[in-house]
Amino acid sequence: MQMSKKIVLQKELQNNAKIEACAERFGTTGDQTRMKICFLLCHYPKLSVSGIAEIIGSPISTVSHSLKRLKEIQVVENRRQAKQVLYSLGKNKFASIIKSQLLGNNE
């Protein structure tokens, strides 16, 4: 991941009204940490737990727990690549709705 893109995303995650609004709207997924994860996965379709934790500034355990919950409700998917597990947004209508809300478009 490019350092400048990482810095831009970190700034976008701070006080992001779309993330807060989405968190309130989507009850089960409505935790701000989960919305931040979804926001990142909109921009980077394959990220590891440690990569996500570094960008959003949360402990790996918190990110891991949030990813587990998002996977249970099929918002995110994962796949193993060598020794790493990479996460991406799911390919279903609910994940598409979250993506469109976070990015502010009508995909």
Express each pLDDT in 13-71 by its tens digit: 776 676 666 666 666 556 788 888 988 898 888 999 999 999 999 999 999 999 998 99
- Going by the DSSP 8-state scheme, the letter that residue 29 receives in this structure is G
Please state, in angstroms and as integers, the Cα–Cα distance from residue 95 to each residue in 19, 39, 42, 71, 103, following that order: 14, 11, 10, 11, 12
The helix-helix angle for 93-103 and 17-25 (nearest 10°) equals 150
For the chain, the first-to-last Cα distance in angstroms comes to 25
Q: What amino acid is encoded at 19 in this protein? A: I
Contacts of 68 (CB under 8 A, 6+ apart): none
- Give me 97's structure tokens: 């709705």
At 4 the pLDDT is 76
Angle at 99 between CA 63 and CA 81, to 5 degrees: 50
Could you give the 3-state DSSP secondary structure of residue 92? Answer: coil
Q: Is the pLDDT of residue 9 over 80?
A: no
Q: What is the CATH number of domain 3-103?
A: 1.10.10.10
Q: Is the pTM of this model over 0.75?
A: no
Say how far apart CA 53 and CA 64 lie, in whole Å: 9
